Every structure is written in structure tokens, then in C-alpha cells.
Structure 1
Amino acid sequence: MEDKVLEQVYQEGLEERLIAYIAESNGITLEKAMSIYYGSKLSTKIHNGNEDIQYLDYKVLADILKETEPELFK
């Protein structure tokens, strides 16, 4: 597999785990968690690979999201 394909597969798995964790840890639906994640600045950073943030653990990323963009959880 090409590096780009592997990176895409990794990122998709990361997003799935992150969204599921956001839903579970906040007692919300997957749909709401998806809305929070895809409406966040963090999702753009992960997608663009800014600061290699996409290599952090999904639980750490969920914590970062809640700390930096708490308004999305209201």
C-alpha cells in the first residue's frame, strides 16, 4: 500500500474511535458526537495533519477537544 492510502485508513479509524469515545464519555448519541467532531477546529487539524496531532491517542484528542472547544458540547 502507498503511504498516502495507509495514512487515510489510519485517519478514518482514528476518527471512528474518537467519535465513539466522545459519544460514550459524554452520554450523547453518535450523531451528536459526529456533529461535534466534524464541526470542530480539531477535525480540520487532524485532517490536515497540523502539528502531527493525528498521531495522538483518541482519548487525548477527545480531552483536547472538550478543553479547547467546550461550546460544541452545549
Structure 2
Amino acid sequence: MDDKVLEQVYQESLEERLISYIAKENNVSLEKAMAIYYGSKLSNKINQGKEGMQYLDYKVLADILKETEPELFEK
């Protein structure tokens, strides 16, 4: 397995944990949590590898998302 494939597997796992955590912590469905995450600027930063965001813990990323993009969490 080369580095690029390993990085992709890690990122997919990170996104899964992050979405599950968003759903649990905000008492929303997984579908809503996915919409929150994939509709965020943070998801673009993670996918593009900007600012090293992809290496942060998923709980830290959830906190950053809620702090920087609170409008995504409005009902």
C-alpha cells in the first residue's frame, strides 16, 4: 500500500468518525450530520489537506466546525 492510498483510507475513516460524532453530540440523524459535514468549509480543507486539518482528532474537528460554522447546526 503506497502513501497516497494509506492517506485516503485514513481520511475516509476520519470522516466516518467525525460524522458519527457530530450526529451523537448534536442529537441529529447520520444523514443530517453528513449534510452538516459535507456542506462545510472544513470538509474542503480536510479533503484538500489544507492547514494540516486532516491530522487533527475528530473531536477537535467537530469542535472547530461548530465554532466556525454554527449556521450549519441550526435546525
- State the TM-score bracket (shorter-chain normalisation): over 0.9
The ranges of structure 1 where at least 4 consecutive aligned residues each deviate by more than 2 angstroms after the TM superposition are: none
Matching residue's letter, 1:55: Y
Amino acid at match of 1:12: E
1:37 corresponding residue in structure 2 = 37
What is the TM-score of this pair, normalised by structure 2? 0.98
1-structure distance, mates of 2:42, 2:51: 11
Determine the C-alpha separation between the residues in 2 that align with 1:31 and 1:63.
Answer: 19
Q: Which amino acid in structure 1 is aligned with residue 29 of structure 2?
A: T
> Shift of residue 41 of structure 1?
0.1
**Unaligned segments of structure 1, at least 5 residues:** none
Superposition RMSD on alpha carbons, in Å? 0.3
Q: After superposition, what is the alpha-carbon deviation per residue over 1:1-28, rounded to whole angstroms, capped at 9, x for unaligned?
A: 1100000000000000000000000000
How many residues are aligned here?
Answer: 74
Counterpart residue number, 1:14: 14
Which residue in 2 is equivalent to 1:27? 27
In structure 1, C-alpha distance between the alignment counterparts of 2:51 and 2:72, rounded to whole Å: 22
In structure 1, give the amino acid aligned to 2:15. Answer: E
**Percent identical across equivalent pairs?**
78
